[in-house]
Structure 1
Amino acid sequence: MRNSLDPAELNAAIENVHRAGMPGVFAEVRDGDEAWHGAAGVADTATGRPVTADMRHRVGSVTKTFTAAAVMQQVESRRIGLDAPIGEYLPELVPGARGDAITVRMLINHTSGLAEYLPYAYPSLKAFPDLADTGPQSLDDNRFTRFDPTELIEMGVTAPAVGPPGGTPGVYSNTNYLLLGELLHHVTGTPAAQYITRNVIERAGLRHTELPVDPYVSGSHAKIYEAWFGMIDPPRDFSVYDMSWVGPAAALISTVTDLNLFFRKLLAGEIVGPASLAEMQRTVPVVSQEGKVIDYGLGLHPMNAPGHSAFWGHGGTVWGAGALSMSRADGKRQMSVAVTMQRWNRLDAAGRPQPHPIDAALADFYRLAMYG
């Protein structure tokens, strides 16, 4: 018997996330043809403007699923070999033996061994993930910086490797997805953002989703607040930001309704074919940016609970904004959630993030939304 939606319980659970300290949170939960939309908190802490469930939002690394799907379309068209070396396509970006050893699959599932470029692009984050020695200054300094993706890729490629090509556990790295963007441009002759827009976003019928070309979020949206582990107090609005620092890795703007529609169509085989979807759901262990080992496929990862069917999707964060979108394998039960603050956990003396009431409140909401 399928789980029905209980609006009262969902409303109470999302309100608890706000009460725990989240400025604004909004979500869509679907069960078959039923849909619940909920929101709690404010879109602007200064004015008290309420947050609403239809707002557009920066969804961070959920972008990776869109980019992975675009690459798999080119695999289906035989323009890209999933297990071909990236040096076959982009020898100038990944030269020599590494270009011969790192395959397209390794980029998509984060087993390439390529380091994260972020600490090199953002100097005050150089010690990341040793958070006690980082600072937020370069977040502000780079609000309007237009990064060249090939320069960011070079930072990641020339940094010390985090593992051997194909080794597991892999290490999550945005360098991989910037390379996939350049790969798409190389094989299609179209910039990755344009290709993804035409062949993934528009193909899925997403009316409120885009890869932005300027620092602004158009349409109704909330301000997004970065706390940087208590070092920015009060948390600062980063809703205006040039997203070239992440591009095809994490720049997407969307809505919770569009995210659910996208994953519903992806899991139904309407964005890529069944064989490609099966490849996307083949997982390997990967160390996440939070230092946890997770199962990761090709731009998808599962969430499981004992006695329940697997859910597939992706989460993401950028400065100030976060999102999580998960769908049951049959696409019937879905949850997409957006939050308007990031890195709310303060650090202990050793620089480790400490538990916060928001963590427990979000976990409770996820359980209710996914499993009823």
Structure 2
Amino acid sequence: MNLQELMEEQASLRDVPAVAAGFSAAGARTTATHGSVAVTAESCFRVASLTKVFTSAALVRTLRDKGVPLGTPVVELLPGLAPDWRADESLTVEQILGQVSGLRESVDAATVRALGDGDDGLLEAARLVVRAGNEREPGRRWSYYNGNYFLAGSVLAALSGTTYESALKGNVLAPWGLARTGFETPAASVTGWDATTELPLLAYPRTRRPSGGLWSSVSDLLTACEGLLADRALLEEIRRPRTGSGDPMAYGLGWALGPSGQMYLNGRLPGYRAAIVLIPDRDYVSVALANEESALPALARLLSDMQQPLTGDDIAKAVNDFAA
């Protein structure tokens, strides 16, 4: 496949200032860029909910390393929340990572932002989540809720004896050599746009970081997924479906699951769109990043076209419609 040609065939990408994409097949990489703003595979974009891939991997690895089962109740790992715990006490780490917690989705972005940027802010966000209780029994139905990942980030921090950010760096970012992935705005950052308007760079609340705060690049995202592919035990745990036949989609731990074993996700923040597809059985990953709010359908089409010769599936609608 010629990635550059596939990008140029996407008419809806022609007015996007900057697009960077790439794929890795059995470790062999191809990358390409497009647009009026000069970028490379090393340029950093906000990747929004693709952050959940990193949070999930770091927490599953940490649990494994410490011999803690995924089925451990969250309240046992966050005992400081016990006095305010109104959620189902059987709620497990596996269920929050798999978005099948059944938690009442009442904690919004503004409420979490108001908690500030101190080291204790994330745990306080988690406290608000569990104080709201459950809407339904854990495990019964999938529903996408960032509050699940406020809890996941808090568990990761608690198990690691440090902040969420330090735990993420120590467990996946540093071991995988992801020098361009992090929460601080990098020197090689790409400005976001909404149509003809350049958007100001807004700070991302520290209390929301486990669900969507990272900057990253095409090269680092490919490296991260190659790291997942190299750790088959971790990958198999993450890709195992936690949803049932009555759920609106198939979902593992931080990843949506496609019809032929694909794992996929998209990310959306003002001025940025991101999408990723991983096919473990083909040792394949592809990623596309853009600095334009309207670009997601085209990124989804690009990634679908790239993987279709391998699977025969058109997954553009699924990648675009995912509720990140």
TM-score range for the pair, normalised by the shorter chain length: 0.7 to 0.9
Confirm whether residue 303 of structure 1 aligns to residue 258 of structure 2: yes
Confirm whether residue 85 of structure 1 aligns to residue 73 of structure 2: yes
* Residues 277-309 of structure 1 deviation map (CA, whole Å, 9 limit, x = unaligned): 3221111349xxxxx9221111222233xxxx4
CA distance in 1, matches of 2:7, 2:152: 39
Partner of residue 248, structure 2: 293
More helix by share: 2
Equivalence map 1:6-155=2 (5 Å): 6-13=2-9, 16-19=11-14, 21-42=15-36, 49-93=37-81, 95-96=84-85, 98-116=87-105, 119=108, 121=110, 146=117, 148-155=121-128
- Structure 1 residues without counterparts, runs of 5 or longer: 43-48, 124-141, 228-232, 287-291, 345-357
Root-mean-square deviation (Å): 3.0
Q: Summarize the Cα distance change of 1:239–1:70 in structure 2 as closer, same or farther, 3 Å threshold.
A: same
Deviation at 1:122, TM superposition (A): 5.8
Confirm whether residue 327 of structure 1 aligns to residue 278 of structure 2: yes
CA distance in 1, matches of 2:93, 2:227: 24
In the alignment, is the contact (CA less than 8 A) between 1:62 and 1:250 conserved in 2? yes
- Amino acid of the structure 2 residue aligned with 1:284: R
CA distance in 2, matches of 1:87, 1:193: 21
Which of the numbers 238, 242, 263 marks the counterpart of 2:204? Answer: 242
Q: Summarize the Cα distance change of 1:184–1:87 in structure 2 as closer, same or farther, 3 Å threshold.
A: same
Higher gyration radius (CA): 1
Partner of residue 263, structure 2: 312
In the alignment, is the contact (CA less than 8 A) between 2:289 and 2:299 conserved in 1? no
In the alignment, is the contact (CA less than 8 A) between 2:21 and 2:289 conserved in 1? yes
Deviation at 1:245, TM superposition (A): 4.3
- Structure 2 residues without counterparts, runs of 5 or longer: 310-324
Q: Summarize the Cα distance change of 1:79–1:7 in structure 2 as closer, same or farther, 3 Å threshold.
A: closer
Equivalence map 1:179-258=2 (5 Å): 179-212=151-184, 217-225=185-193, 235=197, 237-258=199-220
- Residue 89 of structure 2 aligns to a residue whose secondary structure is helix
CA distance in 1, matches of 2:105, 2:45: 24
In the alignment, is the contact (CA less than 8 A) between 1:206 and 1:262 conserved in 2? yes
Deviation at 1:368, TM superposition (A): 2.1
Confirm whether residue 364 of structure 1 aligns to residue 304 of structure 2: no
Equivalence map 1:171-182=2 (5 Å): 171-182=143-154
CA distance in 2, matches of 1:333, 1:93: 41
Aligned length: 304
Deviation at 1:359, TM superposition (A): 5.8
Q: Summarize the Cα distance change of 1:202–1:82 in structure 2 as closer, same or farther, 3 Å threshold.
A: same
- Residue 101 of structure 1 aligns to a residue whose secondary structure is coil
- Residue 54 of structure 1 aligns to a residue whose secondary structure is coil
CA distance in 1, matches of 2:132, 2:125: 11
In the alignment, is the contact (CA less than 8 A) between 1:208 and 1:258 conserved in 2? yes
- Amino acid of the structure 1 residue aligned with 2:126: I
TM-score (norm 2): 0.81
* Residues 150-181 of structure 1 deviation map (CA, whole Å, 9 limit, x = unaligned): 3333443344644322212x211111111111
Partner of residue 167, structure 1: 140
TM-score (norm 1): 0.72
